Amino acid sequence: MSQPRVIITAPVPADLREQIAARCEIIDVPTGSNLLETLGKEQLANIDGIICTVRSKFDESVFDAFPRLRVVSNFAVGYDNVNMPAATARNVLVCNTPKVLDGAVADLTFGMLICLARNMVNGDAHVRSGAWAGKGAPALTHDIRGKTLGLLGMGRIGRVVAETAKAFNMKVIYHNRTRNTEAEAAGVAEYRDRDALFAESDFLSVHIPLNPETRHSVGAKEFAAMKPTAYLLNTARGPVVDEAALIEALKNGTIAGAGLDVMEQEPLPASSPLCELPSVVLQAHVGSGTVETRRAMIDLAVRNLLDALSNTRPQAIVNPEVWATRSESINA
């Protein structure tokens, strides 16, 4: 029996690549490449699995070009690059890498929060430019202790951010589609309705997935409800926030500033108005960007791929109904 054929578009360390090569035939495709344009029709027809980043898009036309495809293993916790109904309808497992990046993303969220409150990026520039010697110390900044952190979304990452905030004596409130009564009972966070969350927060941190319902769900209405001294933080997905409305809110002083690890267009062009605003801290979608976390993520992505191809239940499945159907046919 021939080995399964897999496409690799994600960066895979040599030792993990050897594990894949021992059980599969590998076809390498550059990250972000259009799979339908890069591969020939015969190659497309004989692919069993794919390990990829969110830069690889899977809509109905892509799935139709891979009639033998059994698994898409995303090197990410998000999966907005995949048309999930199309994948499920074609019996394709979609896997991701949850849990292993929660701490790293929470750390970056809090790092941006502190940078904003204490104006650390501009403070660094003040010292480097020599302005300290000529103009003295920069303007006073603000404490975070005693302030209110609002979490839009209380999943795994939101929970870690909430627990971190408690170490800084912050009050934590949250809004989620489903209330987290366990977190409330443990004193981690207090529930608020959505409007109250935006109105009360000194820092509003976004932790919701991107889907048709959440796209641009944080916009002009939400910014108008926030305090003029409040800050927005986004380490989720760029299009969750209406970027044009955010820029207007920042320019007009509707809110005090923003910390963004994700944007609507990535990489963010230097011509973006966000790059000109001193009240904004920008990062290059590096919430999970530590050596330890990225290794844990690719470990899980590779395990998900190999398990799916060997009819072993992967650790992290986005559409478990596909596995249930597949298991029934295997055990029949």
* Active-site pick, 18, 190, 266, 292: 266
- Could you give the CA distance from residue 324 to residue 301 in angstroms, rounded to a whole number? 20
Q: Is 159 a catalytic residue?
A: no
* Active-site pick, 156, 194, 285, 326: 285
Q: Is 126 a catalytic residue?
A: no
* Active-site pick, 70, 207, 237, 303: 237
One-letter-per-residue 3-state SS of the chain: CCCCEEEECCCCCHHHHHHHHCCCEEEECCCCCCHHHHCCHHHHCCCCEEEECCCCCECHHHHHHCCCCCEEEECCCCCCCECHHHHHHCCCEEECCCCCCHHHHHHHHHHHHHHHHHCHHHHHHHHHCCHHHHHCCCCCCCCCCCCEEEEECCCHHHHHHHHHHHHCCCEEEEECCCCCHHHHHCCCCEECCHHHHHHHCCEEEECCCCCCCCCCCECHHHHHHCCCCCEEEECCCHHHECHHHHHHHHHHCCCCEEEECCCCCCCCCCCCHHHHCCCEEECCCCCCCCHHHHHHHHHHHHHHHHHHHCCCCCCCECCHHHHHHHHHHHHC
Q: Is 266 a catalytic residue?
A: yes
- Catalytic machinery residues: 237, 266, 285
